[in-house]
Structure 1
Amino acid sequence: MKAWIIGVVIVVLIIAGYFGYSYLNTGPVTVYAQDAPGLQVTLTITSIMLHKVNGSWVTVSNKTIIYTLSSNLTELISSRLPAGKYNEIFLYVKNASISVLGTPISIPSNVIKIHFVADKDLVIGPTENAQVIISFPHISTSSGSLIISPSITAEAIN
């Protein structure tokens, strides 16, 4: 009977240690988006990734998110990620269109590369409340098509 209790206690301590270690080495991050008033553009985002300063990429979400650009600040995703400094965010976009006209929009490489403004890295840690605000002001026309610039900036808020 004592061996069984000791075994259960050991398993509980291992599980608690794992989750405690994971919690101390991760932090919350929320990604928001906002657009200047203008065309009503809908993006189907299939993946969001953050780039750590050390060179590795961390997946924030592989969930499909349908987002219509809006002047209202909109939460795209909230998650816990490994602690560290991040300097770039990528949105993988399956498709984009103007909701009113149904016009397709070209996004080179289907990736929107977003750099943090003023070289201010995003810091994620257990005591940080990290937030990213993405702004989409770069929509232009070329040869009768609308093009969303593949290089957009975001503000890291720590």
Structure 2
Amino acid sequence: MRTSILVVGAIVVVAALGLLAYYYFSQGHVDIYISDPPSPQRIAIYVTFTSIALHRVNANGTGGWIVLFNGSRTVELTSTPQLLLSASVPAGEYNEVFFTISEATVQIDGSNITARIPSGVFKVHIIGGMRLNGGSSEKLLISFPHVVFHDGELIISPSITAQVVS
């Protein structure tokens, strides 16, 4: 009886270690940062993200979306990169980041102005792609180039870039 308990215990330990090794070698880690270039004006931009996903490319050229976040998170865009999200994702090659923004507010000299966000949906190509190996970690920087004033309203430019940074 005692031998059976030891054998079962050993099997449980080996299985647990196997699962931990599988998870470690099949998952990578990504930190997503956002930034906005410095502005000559005294403005602050607050953006509310409601979803974030990464597009994984499979070996045969197809892929799928890995949802990292669904909810609501408001962050200030500054010239200093701000951590938006930290997540574990399956190892693989990623070529796009997709996110939705529900609202954006621009603060100019203490006054808040709602910015127009064309479609509110952004599908951004990752310059050079991003490769995550099991146990590896990458930093992805999403840069919002600028806010423009056009026909009496503020518009957040859809010309957004994403790139892996060290």
Q: TM-score, normalised by structure 2?
A: 0.82
Moved over 3 A (4+): none
Q: For 1:102-128, what per-residue CA distance to the aligned partner results, in whole angstroms no more than 9, with x for missing partners?
A: 2112223322222223xx011111353
Contact 1:115 1:151 in 2 (8 A): no
Match of 2:55 in 1: 51
Residue 142 of structure 1 deviates from its aligned partner by: 3.1
Tell me the C-alpha RMSD between the 2 structures.
Answer: 2.0
Q: Distance in 1 between matches of 2:142 and 2:12?
A: 43
Q: Distance in 2 between matches of 1:73 and 1:25?
A: 28
- Confirm whether residue 21 of structure 1 aligns to residue 22 of structure 2: yes
Match of 2:35 in 1: 34
- Confirm whether residue 155 of structure 1 aligns to residue 163 of structure 2: yes
Q: Distance in 2 between matches of 1:90 and 1:107?
A: 15
Q: Distance in 2 between matches of 1:13 and 1:62?
A: 35
Q: Distance in 2 between matches of 1:4 and 1:109?
A: 61
Which residues of structure 1 form unaligned runs of 5+? none
Q: Distance in 2 between matches of 1:94 and 1:6?
A: 56
| Equivalent position amino acid for 1:102 in 2 | N
How many positions carry a matched residue from both structures?
156
Match of 2:153 in 1: 145
Q: Distance in 2 between matches of 1:9 and 1:63?
A: 42
Residue 148 of structure 1 deviates from its aligned partner by: 1.4
| Equivalent position amino acid for 1:111 in 2 | V
Contact 1:45 1:94 in 2 (8 A): yes
Q: Distance in 2 between matches of 1:102 and 1:115?
A: 31
Identity %: 35
| Equivalent position amino acid for 2:114 in 1 | P
Match of 1:86 in 2: 94
**SS of the residue 1:2 aligns to:** helix
Q: TM-score, normalised by structure 1?
A: 0.86
Match of 2:105 in 1: 97
| Equivalent position amino acid for 2:160 in 1 | I
Contact 1:122 1:157 in 2 (8 A): no
User: Highest CA radius of gyration, 1 or 2?
Assistant: 2
Q: Which structure carries more strand by proportion?
A: 2
| Equivalent position amino acid for 1:75 in 2 | L
Q: For 1:31-79, what per-residue CA distance to the aligned partner results, in whole angstroms no more than 9, with x for missing partners?
A: 1111112331101112221111232111223353321010112111222
